[in-house]
Chains A and B, each alone.
Chain A
Amino acid sequence: MRAQRRPIEVIAEKGIEFLIRLCGISAILFVFAIFFFVFREGAPMLGKIDLGKFLFTQTWYPTSLNQARYGVGALIVGTLSVTTLAMFIAVPFGVGAAIFVSEFCGRKTKEALKITIELLAAIPSVVWGFIGLTVMNVVIQKVFNVPVGLNVLNAAILLALMSVPIIVSIGEDSLKAVPDSYREAGLALGCTRWQLVWRVLLPAAKNGLLAAVLLGVGRAVGETMAVLMATGHSVNIPHSVFDSVRTLTATIAAELGETSEGSDHYRVLFLIGILLFSITFAVNLTADLIVKGIRKK
């Protein structure tokens, strides 16, 4: 037998469930909305410029009155150089720290380390930028004896510190996912922890570690304020790590405020936004597919 519920309750419940479903799909709506609205502002420019020229030439003269040129080649190289160097610093340290947290330390150290890493991740990017501008700038000038401390190296160190937490936490997860029986088998055969890490754990967790690195890359590519303040902000193909560069994100942040709505320059900045959106979308998608692949196994 069924207890009778008042119709109003049934309707209220239906209403709430509808709301839940609506919120549930909101993430998809928002991702589409982001693409749509950024595209909407940038699209009129697609017909006006040659995409090949836009992507592969290096002359960025957006404010020139009669000969404005929009080539983001140098900006892409800037983003790539900063991100690559940041990963060269962050990956060894991040993976090393993940190995230490997951394999070598006791429970208390582990807790303390994880909390510190979480706090490291919480530092706002504008504060990192400020640190780059004031502290790192001087340190790099002194240590390497170069005239300008705002360069690829400076931004890369900041980005490394910013993306290390994500590498550590995802990396640790993937190491944790390696079954204990692997470790036991290795230890029973008499291998050292060192060998265990190199020969057993890293190969077994390599997909997860790859995903961790990719997420770090995604974070580094999309970072705005820190690179805006620390790269030196000059459109330039870098020849060494001590050259100043400018990134895609920083260009939007620096120039959007000065353009008038609807101008070519304004629309080109939105096109750069679409480019960034596509890059991070691809990177995150790949990382996610890799992670899901592991879970299925």
Chain B
Amino acid sequence: MPAPANSQPKAMFAETRFTRKKRRAELIAKWIFGAMALAMIIPLALIIGYLVIKAAPLLSWDFLTTNPTNGMRKGGIWSALLGTIYLVVVSLCISAPIGVLAAVYLNEYAKENWFTRILHLAVVNLAGVPSIVHALFGLGAFVLFARLDRSIIAASLTLAIMTLPVIIASTKEALASVPMSFREACWNVGATRWQTIRQIVLPNSISGILTGVILQVSRAAGETAPIMFTGAVFYRNIEEGNLFAYSLKDQCMALSMHLYTVTTQVTNAPEALPYAIAVVLLGAVLLVNASAIVFRVILRSRKKW
């Protein structure tokens, strides 16, 4: 090895020009990549802050609990809010059982073969189908073919199929995280496949499954395109304060659709109105997502294996 440039016997790892340069390069790299990551976060914070400030004059409890009036220029968002809740709950009731069972099949039953391979591809592609194509499908299949007309049930079915991959993916991950030895122990004492799944696999992965369900809720609440032609309408008045004001065969308003309508179709709406709708919608979705994250963090800290 050549002797160090300055031959004073300092510490063995004294800083040479080379290492200094190297360290600087590392710092620069870190800052550049860090800035790129920040470039995504700053707009998020700025946008949310801006929306909230603009919406502030209108945000109140009354805004949530009164119907829109005066051609949607005055009043609140009650019928839209309740409509969104209906759509989310009904679509959840459809997609959660199917999605969880599908994930159970994929993770517990499916063998490694070409069919399973195609099944995986189908799930991936179902997740990638554009939302507007889901809308066309919902219109063709549920509204026209199944004669459900434009209704909450038709819109919810469309949303359910659209959000199915979310539930399948996260449930599958939760099931896969249950160690194989748990199953083997159970089989060894003579349990059947289904008994093992019900007594061991599902209880051990229930929180992961719930996280997926929560994510489905947030996804379904924010979608606009799939419900535009399958059940959501521009305007509908319902009884204020009555949680059961819609029936499944009714058409409903929805927050996301309401935001679109107020922004693009209603003239002379007060300036703060669309901002307030956006903040309620965004707030609801982010709250749901944040709860999923908190849930997951708690879960990971409690994990026993």
Q: CB of A65 within 8 A of chain B?
A: no
Are B126 and A30 in touch, CB under 8 angstroms? yes
Q: Known: A27-B119, A27-B168, A97-B36. Contact between A270 and B228, CB under 8 A?
A: no
Task: From the candidates B37, B136, B144, B193, name the one contacting A97 in the complex (CB within 8 A).
Answer: B37
Residues of A within 8 A of B137 (CB): 33-34, 37-38
| Contact yes or no, B109 A222, CB < 8 A | no
Chain A residue contacts of B225, Cβ below 8 A? 125, 224-225, 249, 253
Partner pick for A104 among B33, B106, B124, CB 8 A cutoff: B33
Bits for A20-54, please: 1 = Cβ < 8 Å to B, else 0: 11111111101101100110110000000000000
- Tell me how many residues of B have a C-beta within 8 Å of chain A: 88
Expressed in whole angstroms, the Cα–Cα distance for A163 and B7 within the complex equals 55
CA distance A171 to B47 in the complex (A): 25
Residues of B contacting A146 with CB < 8 Å? none
Which residues between 243 and 292 of chain B lie within 8 Å of chain A, taking CB atoms? 256-257, 259-260, 263-264, 274-275, 278, 281-282, 285-286, 289-290
> Which of the candidate stretches A176-184, A237-245, A282-290 sits at the interface with the other chain?
A282-290
Complex interface: chain B residues within 8 A of A100 (CB): 30, 33-34, 36-37
B11 at the interface (CB under 8 A from A): no
Q: Is B134 an interface residue (CB 8 A)?
A: yes
Query: Which chain B residues lie closer than 8 Å to A223 at the CB level?
Result: 130-131
Chain B residues with Cβ under 8 A from A22's Cβ? 101
Counting chain B CB atoms within 10 Å of each CB, which of A105, A120, A123, A281 scores highest? Answer: A123
- A104 near B101 (CB under 8 angstroms)? no
CB contacts (< 8 Å) of B47 on chain A: these are: 131, 135
Give the chain B neighbours of A86 by CB distance below 8 A: none
How many chain-A residues does the 8 Å CB contact rule pick out?
85
**Interface flag for A189 (CB, 8 Å):** no
A134 in complex: contacting residue of B131, B141, B274, B286, CB < 8 Å: B274
Contact residues in B for A13 (Cβ distance below 8 Å): 192, 194-195
**A96 & B33 in contact (Cβ 8 Å cutoff):** yes
- Among residues of A, the one whose C-beta sits closest to the C-beta of B138 is A37
**Are A113 and B37 in contact (CB-based, < 8 A)?**
yes
Which candidate, B62-70, B179-187, B215-223, is the interface stretch facing chain A?
Answer: B215-223
Interface residues in A122-170 (C-beta closer than 8 Å to B): 122-127, 129-131, 133-135, 161, 164-165, 168
Give bound CA distance, A97 to B192, whole Å: 47
A27 touches B164 (CB 8 A): yes
Are B260 and A222 in contact, with the CB atoms below 8 A? no
Within the assembled complex, what's the spacing in Å between the Cα atoms of A31 and B161?
Answer: 10
Cβ-defined contact, B224 with A125, below 8 A? yes
A293, B161: Cα distance in complex, Å: 28
A16 lies within 8 A of chain B by Cβ:
yes
Stretch at the interface among A56-64, A66-74, A192-200, A202-210: A192-200
Cβ B222 vs Cβ A3 within 8 A: no
User: Interface code B105-145, partner A: CB below 8 Å = 1, 0 otherwise?
Assistant: 11001100000001111111111111111111101110011
* Residue of B44, B118, B136 with highest tally of chain A CB at under 10 A: B136
Which A residues are in CB contact (< 8 Å) with B290? 119
B40 within 8 A of A: yes
Docked Cα-Cα span, A154 to B290, in Å, equals 28
Asked if B56 is an interface residue, CB under 8 A from chain A, the answer is no
Looking at the assembled complex, report how far the CB atom of B196 sits from the nearest CB atom of chain A, in whole angstroms. Answer: 11
Q: Does B299 contact A (CB under 8 A)?
A: no
> Closest residue to B258 on the A side, CB-wise?
A126
Are B130 and A118 interface neighbours, CB within 8 A? no
CB pair B260 A115 closer than 8 Å:
no
Judge whether B12 is part of the interface by a CB distance below 8 angstroms: no
Q: B128 touches which one: A38, A229, A284 (CB < 8 A)? A: A284
Return 7 A-B CB contacts under 8 Å, by A number: A16-B194, A23-B105, A122-B219, A164-B40, A194-B25, A284-B125, A285-B125
Instruction: Give the residue of B98, B190, B274, B293 whose beta carbon is less than 8 angstroms from that of A26.
Output: B98
Q: In the bound complex, what is the Cα–Cα distance between A197 and B36 (angstroms)?
A: 15
Residue of B nearest to A161 (CB): B43
Of the listed residues B124, B141, B190, B229, the one surrounded by the most CB atoms of chain A closer than 10 A to its CB is B124
